[in-house]
Structure 1
């Protein structure tokens, strides 16, 4: 305490009194860097001493800026429901992959089990806490990690449709899919790292799971899955069995007889021509959101329903394990305590949320909690945010978004060209705008969880655009000179046609767990689920219709200078393969 001296306290201890210090360590050698306190401590005493030293001396008055308390019953119920929805969603993804890709689908399902096991193991080693957002990110990671297998398996199927043998198709497919897989995962990693560095506790938890997902995806679904598939194929049991990859024998040309590819599992479609209708629908949704926002502003409710995370305030979660909780009862109790400015929302029969724009202090919260504890037998959970924290959250959210966009733009420009980067950026603006438009129209609460989702969409929805752009870049290598608009549109239509199932299946396997979370999961992460659902749908359409349209416009009006490249040997994909019995068949 202020005014205490070590000498005086040491004399007290020597005379059998009680000293105020927490430890009386002596220096036995010179200190240069780290030092160690040794003594006859029990494990509990050592931990207590470490905690007290780490807490330091704080001769200042501490003021609570924010707090978040969840009642045990509500937290366990939310956790159980979310976990069950996640398990069912994961099983749904496994079934989809096996039905679509047969033998490789089984490998994908095994890798998915290994991914979940490794994630839980890493979290246990790190001592990390499983929050609802982290579980949501885990389930999202299931879709992301399967997405890698889809890109690989679809490329193998395309090689089979061209007349390749199973062995050659697997080798070629794995090699040709690697660049798209790496670029897609790396952009997600950029977004996750930015969230982790600048985000707060909730966002950090979400980012930690995303980083682990990317690492596990690269290790399990790029390295291990590829190795396992290669070992099975090299054993010879897959020879002349394309049906094990979901391809029928009558869909494969006999190149030894001079036949060329005659089958594709997609239909020719004018994506560029129909894209204008998708863009018009998007503009209509943005206009509707603007109208709803203006109406909300006129009514005094604000342009959007900004939650207390950004505007400051208090949210109480009133729950009961056996007594029905109604809005009327909660409102009457709050008004009797003198709180009139709260809004109320029910979630099932046993939970009511009470949200107000006033930040209650510790004593006020204590009074409210005691009142509801007497009423329902359980203390309500609370989330209190002061104006200082609200302003910081808004600022950090804005910085996170801008930095993530810039970082990914730089990466795509380095890997591709600047016009590919602009196409991806416009698509990302479309995706983020769609999510915000949905929240504006539905008047859903905008809180810190939404920011986590927006950052995830920024990192994930770009995946499909990269897959399509990777194929556009590949097909552009077969063209010479400056193309006209019609020729650029043809290249884009062909590229989208060749990658459409990669984009659709990747979105479907991510949407399956999100849909189960939406229908069966806890209402505590409903914001997360709705935002992810809208963002994934928007991301799928923008990668197919928006990003390529922007790229074509830029190519026609502002063609970038071609990079000088050394001549390379013709890629294997351009060479015709002949099936020679005993060698490659």
Structure 2
């Protein structure tokens, strides 16, 4: 009898979530904070240096500097800037959506330390004598822009003017400086210049007993406004030195976001079609829960006040491919239970129970890699890691609990009791319960393949490729981006195709000579130039952007990396890789055994190595997102291996005792066959997401997607042909040593008789 209440509950839940998403999605999407790579803007990392001799840079100094920067940013009108203190002497500033990057750069880095000096450079007054926020832009008696400042004490200004007025003509000057450098600047040196560094040097012919002063000079209106804003925001308590910067034009951001969303939607639609086509009704449930997963992830993302970057969008879309893995593991288990003759209800219950530990293990190992990426990543890569971690957690909730709730309501309604075809199972493949067949005994589409017989050939093949790859790497190395060394990277977009020689000539007009130019994009509309070992100053960046904008119609992206930061990024990448590997080894050792852990990590390093070799051969640029892709593959590729090892462990327990190597080989073979369908289906869904991004997504993350594609292929190969085979070889040595393997725990015998 069909239980209509269950069906009604199912549809009520769908209507509830559908209505919720329909009414709130627009506002949620609108409230998502976009990173500078999606809306334009710039990011800069400063080394914080002492402004005065003997000054100590501690957390108090860093906090004070961050507050000063925040006040200056407020003047710019940038909503929700991101200012982060990093380590013991660094501050990172991210300004997304800033309209005038040159003005913002100048406002941030200028100390704005105003001093009033005599002609001998002695300090008479400084910024501490100004009223906080007391500077305004005004006009002088001739209608020229000037700056009016309010002083704390009129008597102090009276004393200063009294001292100056008594000096002989030519020396009775009050020299006003902004950011005077002791030992470098001097009035005597600057006075004869056409454009001196001091702001003004008015002669003092009378004593002034007042608390306001006008600074008059050859200011444009914009310069006067900037100076008044700087003085109102207050001087910086330290010196700031740029060690890393990147700027993104608004057009780049808008185009990247549009393309990535289109590519992502195409990939997600393809995943939904595949799931429904292969798994039928459970596939339809998966499409529903994956949609809910996307919605809830964005909700939590907004609640965290996190910033969504371009790699973050990719992580969200890839998360759909990864989230579907939990559904596939459960559905494959349910199909197996149906095939041994269990009812739809019993199969759902058993399949859900047996798949939970596998899903948990697979997700936790991926989290380890994402965590390492978060703690050692920087900027947009950290944004990618944040989204990836959130995606894994939300996918676990929706795939495990959401899917089981919705599918459970339908199954327990009895509507599908005699409809195994709705679960992707053909009636002719279903055995009778009386046959006492277990899932381990079921035939698979891969029974004709012996995956362990030729293991030595697989080892030899991989070994030969590793040797060849090592030779290639030693000869040509990687085409490292400036992220890992030092230099400047320029990325220009145009409405028309860009030619290499034309782009080279344009750069030459700014005095930039380089042959390292790559033209990309579907219509060759993007030109990228790298100038290694040359770090542009903010003035050079400003001039270059103005020139290229005039020529190509849009501002270029310009990134600079100092040698110190380049070395740190490379070091942190190695740390992240090592920590992720150690974490996975420890976890798999605890959950399984050390032989499986060692086999798993060697397989992962094998996958990572071939991504590196591929980039070496193709000469694709290896940048920060390349590291993110390698660590993502490490986290994701372990899923396949964990699922296989989980099935091996389960089949060994059912066997209870293993006496021969042939029995051990049979278990490894059978486990690989049983999980291969799941592995291939999971790879297909992730590939659909990656291909959608690769073909239709942004050019900015194309190398990232290519690295994922190569890693997925290498990961599939290592999971099927290497990991289990390595374990089998080492486990066989243990069997040879002990003669028999006991694979289950005997229950202790208890007795009511007294013990003596």
Q: Decide: shared fold, TM above 0.5.
A: yes
CA contact (8 A) 1:285 1:437 kept: no
The alpha-carbon deviation at position 292 of structure 1 amounts to 3.1
CA contact (8 A) 2:656 2:743 kept: no
279-288 or 544-553, larger mean C-alpha shift: 279-288
206-215 or 475-484, larger mean C-alpha shift: 475-484
Backbone CA RMSD of aligned residues: 2.8
The alpha-carbon deviation at position 66 of structure 1 amounts to 0.8
Q: 1:279 & 1:457 partners in 2: Cα distance?
A: 21
The answer to whether 1:506 aligns with 2:685 is no
Give runs of aligned pairs for residues 134-173 of structure 1, distance below 5 A.
134-173=312-351
CA contact (8 A) 2:340 2:437 kept: no
Task: Render the CA deviation track for 1:139-176: whole Å, top value 9, x for unaligned.
Answer: 11111100000000000001111111111111111111
The alpha-carbon deviation at position 229 of structure 1 amounts to 1.0
Q: 1:101 & 1:56 partners in 2: Cα distance?
A: 64
- Equivalent of residue 93 in structure 1, options 250, 254, 271: 271
The alpha-carbon deviation at position 137 of structure 1 amounts to 0.8
The answer to whether 1:350 aligns with 2:525 is yes
Task: Render the CA deviation track for 1:203-238: whole Å, top value 9, x for unaligned.
Answer: 211111111111111211001111211111110001
1:342–1:68: structure 2 CA closer, same or farther, 3 Å change rule? farther
The alpha-carbon deviation at position 257 of structure 1 amounts to 7.2
The alpha-carbon deviation at position 333 of structure 1 amounts to 1.8
Q: 2:434 & 2:584 partners in 1: Cα distance?
A: 45
CA contact (8 A) 1:315 1:356 kept: yes
The alpha-carbon deviation at position 288 of structure 1 amounts to 3.5
CA contact (8 A) 1:278 1:545 kept: yes
The answer to whether 1:18 aligns with 2:198 is no
The alpha-carbon deviation at position 474 of structure 1 amounts to 0.6
The match for 2:252 is: 74
CA contact (8 A) 2:340 2:432 kept: no
The alpha-carbon deviation at position 482 of structure 1 amounts to 5.3
The match for 2:536 is: 360
The match for 1:528 is: 704
Q: 1:295 & 1:8 partners in 2: Cα distance?
A: 62
Give runs of aligned pairs for residues 337-486 of structure 1, distance below 5 A.
337-348=510-521, 349-357=524-532, 358-481=534-657, 483-486=659-662
388-397 or 287-296, larger mean C-alpha shift: 287-296
The alpha-carbon deviation at position 278 of structure 1 amounts to 3.9
The match for 1:222 is: 400
1:416–1:262: structure 2 CA closer, same or farther, 3 Å change rule? closer
The answer to whether 1:331 aligns with 2:491 is no
CA contact (8 A) 2:653 2:744 kept: no
Secondary structure of the 1:369 match is helix
Q: 1:248 & 1:355 partners in 2: Cα distance?
A: 58
Q: 1:551 & 1:177 partners in 2: Cα distance?
A: 22
The alpha-carbon deviation at position 19 of structure 1 amounts to 5.2
The match for 2:673 is: 497
CA contact (8 A) 1:434 1:538 kept: yes
Q: TM-score, normalised by structure 2?
A: 0.66
The alpha-carbon deviation at position 281 of structure 1 amounts to 3.7
Q: 2:432 & 2:565 partners in 1: Cα distance?
A: 67
1:380–1:6: structure 2 CA closer, same or farther, 3 Å change rule? closer
1:249–1:56: structure 2 CA closer, same or farther, 3 Å change rule? farther
1:548–1:341: structure 2 CA closer, same or farther, 3 Å change rule? same
Task: Render the CA deviation track for 1:41-62: whole Å, top value 9, x for unaligned.
Answer: xxxxxxxxxxx9xx99743221
Q: TM-score, normalised by structure 1?
A: 0.85
* Unmatched segments (≥5 aa) in structure 1: 22-51, 297-302, 570-585
371-380 or 166-175, larger mean C-alpha shift: 371-380
The answer to whether 1:310 aligns with 2:442 is no
The answer to whether 1:293 aligns with 2:467 is no
CA contact (8 A) 1:316 1:380 kept: yes
359-368 or 230-239, larger mean C-alpha shift: 359-368
Task: Render the CA deviation track for 1:466-516: whole Å, top value 9, x for unaligned.
Answer: 000000001111234454332221110011111111111111111111012
CA contact (8 A) 1:70 1:381 kept: yes
The alpha-carbon deviation at position 556 of structure 1 amounts to 2.0
Counting matched residue pairs gives: 528
The answer to whether 1:112 aligns with 2:112 is no
Secondary structure of the 2:308 match is coil
Structure whose residues are more often helix by fraction: 1
Q: Which has the higher contact order (CA 8 A, sep 6+)?
A: 1
CA contact (8 A) 2:517 2:529 kept: yes
CA contact (8 A) 2:500 2:518 kept: yes
Q: Which has the larger radius of gyration?
A: 2
CA contact (8 A) 1:69 1:383 kept: yes
1:96–1:277: structure 2 CA closer, same or farther, 3 Å change rule? farther
The answer to whether 1:282 aligns with 2:458 is no
- Equivalent of residue 319 in structure 1, options 464, 487, 493: 493
